[in-house]
Amino acid sequence: MKLYELVGKDKTQGFSPYVWRARMALAHKGLDVEMVPLTFTEIPSIASGQFKTVPILEHDGDFISDSWAIACYLENTFPDRPSLFGGESGQAYANFFNFTSFYNLLVPLFQSLVYDIFEGLDEKDRDYFRKSREARLGKSLEEAHENQDKSLTTFQKQLWPYNATLKTQAFLSGANPAYVDYIMYGLFQWAKGVSPLVLLTADDPLYDWRQRMDQLYNGLGQVIKTKS
């Protein structure tokens, strides 16, 4: 089993938030996986160019793309291993969380991080990234960077329901981590891998939650080193 991940100059620091969802899901299921690093412009070399983004999971000759599709594939293919969702209702809630977190959290965080991501890319990826991301943003990377503090503040304001939830339970999924936690954790791994921005204070319940997440699966998340 192989999981293709996104890297920049440092091939040991896979930074895609979506890959981290898949990576944690695989660990949750207790599955061994070979991580295969790719730069943005290398992604089309996989599976005859049928995919434009990672994660891509290769298993028994099949290729599965998209983090949500991978999670559902793992749940259905390995039902005898720990559940990612805890049943049908849990899967439905995780699907809802998947969509709401995109607009409420990922979009403002992306605008905060986009220039820092660019700075950490392999040189051959820079033209592609600039053109594609500036088209998405409707502004230059430098303009986005000028508004980094504003975007970060927007992201931080959107964290209140998750901080409130974690005042009464250890994980977003309850007493134990599940896929909803991996969706959120992927965002923090993304930021940690590309930027020195500080997203949380020690008073935030999410701060302690993230430390607990870092310890899961023999400290898997600690492979990402904090930027300075």
Domain ranges of the chain: 2-77, 88-218
| CATH class of segment(s) 88-218 | mainly alpha
The amino acid present at 221, given as its one-letter code, is G
95-132, pLDDT tens digit by residue?
999 999 999 999 999 999 999 999 999 999 999 999 99
Strands 56-59, 34-38: pairing is unpaired
Among 3.40.50.2300, 3.10.105.10, 3.40.30.10, 3.40.50.300, what is the CATH number of 2-77? 3.40.30.10
Q: Look at the block and give the residue holding tokens 């927007």.
A: 154
Neighbours of 51 (CB within 10 A): 17
Q: What is the dihedral of CA 75, 78, 80, 85, to 10 degrees?
A: -10
C-alpha 131/C-alpha 184 separation (Å) is: 28
Rg for the chain (alpha carbons), in Å?
A: 17
Taking only the tens place, the pLDDT of each residue in 163-216 is 999 999 999 999 999 999 999 999 999 999 999 999 999 999 999 999 999 999
Please state, in angstroms and rounded to a whole number, the distance separating the CA atoms of residues 130 and 111.
13
